[in-house]
Structure 1
Amino acid sequence: MTSINGRSASESFKAQALVYRHMFSILDPMCLKWIIDSRIPNIIHDHGKPITLSELVSVLKIPSTKVDRIHVFMRYMAYIGYFDITKVRIHDGNEEEEKEAFALTAASELLIKGTENPCIAPLVEFVMDPLISDSFNYLSKWFSDEDRRLYEITLGKPLWEYLDKNPRLLGLFNDAMAGDSQMIKLALKDHNMVFEGLETIVDVGGGNGTTALIISEKFPALKCIVFDLPMVVESLKGFNNLSFVGGDMFDSIPKADAILLKLVLHNWSDDNCIKILKNCKDAVKVSSKSKKGKIIILETVINEEQDEPEITRLKYLMTLNMQIIHGRERTKEE
């Protein structure tokens, strides 16, 4: 028995399910934003143990008419990996009852605000801000426009220029980058040898210095310089072995034994990346002693043969996002 275009009914139903899954998956980031806005990871963290639905809605002050809906949302977020569903024993007078409870997972632990541990919740808040996320509704208009970038079409000017004029969004962006930079703590555990023997390092595009601070604390004898646009670093003050310098990486970069480029190159075209890398080479060529000079690049690398399918899918989504900004994620060869 065949369906449309000579395909079996089973094949067509699977195709329909694929379309529906992607259509309704718009709810995934919205639900993620909801648990962050409601501070649910913090609530469970502060609770100190798995939390029951009744305890959660009590903290959230949810109307009784919405309790069942909260339950559906929480069970879905557990299904996609943000919570674990477990059982706890509740004492009520002389009786003991076993109830369902929600516990944190590795994913929701990364959304807890206000602790010393890495938190990437600000990145979600920035990407899901309506001024940013609504722009994706205009992809067709962007593709048909010869010159302008997506955010120029939707915001009236390039993204970085728009952020500079919008303190609220700029604050969100800086918090997002700082939160993402905290993850470097995990990388440093296995890659200390990259920084050994260095006396000076420049973190190009280092923002508010989160990454450089982590490195400077790990290597107190290493002089760390955060290099970014003057408007970014003008109000930031250095201390101990950490300092801030304003400038433009397309003009020149302060000289040091090593130059760090963390998530910089993916913002730019190949031609602009070559300009940046040439300036990095000039910066390490003069001052480096012996073979100390190095350029350290931290970027997402697309590797379909090595990565799991879900990781590859994520990397392709990231490169779609960077294409909109005018950059790209790259393969190792690229």
Structure 2
Amino acid sequence: DAMKSAELFKAQAHIFKQVFCFTNGASLKCAVQLGIPDAIDNHGKAMTLSELTDALPINPSKAPHIHRLMRILVTAGFFVEERLGNGKEEKANGYALTPSSRLLLKNKPLSLRASALTMLDPVTVKTWNALSEWFQNEDQTAFETAHGKNMWDFFAEDPGLSKKFNESMASDSQLVTEVLVTKCKFVFEGLTSMVDVGGGTGTVAGAIAKTFPSLRCTVFDLPHVVANLEPTENLDFVAGDMFGKIPPANAIFLKWVLHDWNDEDCVKILKNCKRAIPGKEKGGKVIIVDIIMETEKHDIDEFDYAKMCMDMEMLVLCNSKERTEKELAMLVSEAGFSGYKIFPVLGIRSLIEVYP
């Protein structure tokens, strides 16, 4: 009986831990909005609790609770506690940044701050709360169940939210871009023109254009996304729809596009890409950046878990998915391409070349 009750309490703790998983995200959002990572970064070294509370824009009556917020965030790996002082001097612990919280600093080139805040936005969270209802109704997406229209129409009608979404895409692009233009130059060398389909505000295309001055880059996105964006010497912005005609180029670039769409729509997009590029003998190709899901893997690591979470996010937002290599190969073949090559060089995402 003692054994049975121990098992029951362990099961109860497991349920509480999983049910309260949202606590990590909500606490992280709070820390970012209060500017905790930036306060520690500006301090230049580990901060004591009192130094931290003094630096934050909080009501003084709430200061005693900051240590509880920091405790959960330290446990989740966003901050680390360091012993301050040396020798015989007794000093309190101080909070320091970890590699994760360094990616959440404001105004840093590789910051994921905007991306994290968008994923934790009430609009997104409300969508998750509609998941069980969506499974039982006729709506195309859980986003539609929650908000009455699909995500793309919703963003198109709300300039503020659209701006936030584009900022989050740009923020998520920075790290990938850094690797693309330093470690993956071979993908772009020899190209004279490239169209970034669904390229948003041009974060990636702009960096590629800067790295390869002889490469003519075009960002091709919806009118409300590219309106008022300034072209540069070898970077243009063109409004349009990838389900219509895609501007011709040596190569088409699809970064986190296919995972937003079901198989049928992906085949349509890929067929339009194929029409826009020359044959393989002339160097035509489609360059894709997306997650490739693992199959038959039992030792799940942080990367795998992040991929599964992203796959669920795609289900909830777009009724789409992250694909296995087999699923990708099927799309590529159905769209009339001859082959592909996968380079797993971008963390949870891969760089994929597809050949006509």
TM-score (norm 1): 0.90
Partner of 2:29: 33
- Does residue 298 (structure 1) correspond to residue 256 (structure 2)? The answer is no
Secondary structure of the 2:213 match is coil
Higher mean Cα deviation, 255-264 or 127-136?
Answer: 127-136
> Could you tell me which amino acid in structure 2 is paired with residue 52 of structure 1?
T
Q: Does 1:235 align with 2:231?
A: no
Opposite residue 155 of structure 2, the aligned amino acid is L
CA distance in structure 1 between the partners assigned to 2:19 and 2:139 by the alignment? 29
Deviation of 1:97 (Å): 4.5
1:261 aligns with 254
* SS of residue paired to 2:92: strand
Q: Distance in 2 between matches of 1:171 and 1:64?
A: 33
Q: Secondary structure at the match of 2:15?
A: helix
Contact 1:202 1:224 in 2 (8 A): yes
* SS class of match (1:111): coil
Do structure 1's residue 106 and structure 2's residue 99 form an aligned pair? yes
Q: Of 200, 203, 208, which residue of structure 1 is paired with 2:193? A: 200
Displacement of 1:281 in angstroms is 0.9
Aligned-residue Cα RMSD (Å) equals 2.1
Question: 1:98-145: per-residue Cα shift (whole Å, max 9, x none)?
Answer: 221111111001111112x21111112212221221222222211111
Q: Using a 3 Å threshold, how does the CA distance of structure 1 residues 230 and 167 change in structure 2: closer, same or farther?
A: closer
Q: Note if 1:81 corresponds to 2:73.
A: no
Q: Which residue of 60, 67, 70 maps to 1:71?
A: 67
In the alignment, residue 156 of structure 1 is paired with which amino acid? G
Contact 2:82 2:94 in 1 (8 A): yes
Residue type of the alignment partner of 2:120? M
**1:158-213 Cα distance to aligned partner (Å, 9 max, x none):** 11101111122111101100100111234223211111111111100001001111
Residues 195 and 253 in structure 2, CA contact (< 8 A), matched pair in contact too: yes
Deviates more, 1:273-282 or 1:299-308: 299-308
1:141 counterpart = 2:133: yes
Is 2:211 aligned against 1:211? Answer: no
Counterpart in the other structure of 1:153: 145
**1:307, distance to aligned residue in structure 2 (A):** 7.4
**Identity %, equivalent residues:** 41
The equivalent of 2:12 in structure 1 is 16
Cα contact 1:126–1:169 (8 A) shared by 2: no
Are residues 1:53 and 2:49 paired?
yes
CA distance in structure 2 between the aligned counterparts of 1:243 and 1:157, rounded to whole angstroms? 31
Q: Find 1:119's aligned residue among 111, 121, 144.
A: 111
Contact 1:36 1:121 in 2 (8 A): yes
Distance in 2 (alpha carbons) for counterparts of 1:152 and 1:64: 41
TM-score (norm: length of structure 2): 0.85
Please tell me whether the aligned partners of residues 300 and 329 of structure 1 are also in contact (alpha carbons under 8 angstroms).
Answer: yes
Question: Alignment partner for residue 164 of structure 1, among 156, 168, 171?
Answer: 156
User: Matched residue of 1:182: which SS?
Assistant: helix
Partners of 1:239 and 1:173 in 2: CA distance: 23
Match of 1:129 in 2: 121
Question: How far off is 1:285 after superposition?
Answer: 2.3
Gaps of 5+ in 2: 328-356
How many pairs were matched up? 323
Unpaired segments ≥5 residues, structure 1:
none
CA offsets per residue over residues 280-321 of structure 1, 9 Å max, x none?
1111127x7x44111111001111439743322221221111
After superposition, residues 305-316 of structure 1 pair within 5 angstroms as 305=297, 308-316=300-308
State the alpha-carbon separation in 2 of the partners of residues 306 and 139 from structure 1. Answer: 27
**Offset, 1:226:** 0.4
Provide closer, same or farther for how the CA distance between residues 332 and 18 of structure 1 changes in structure 2, counting only shifts above 3 A.
same
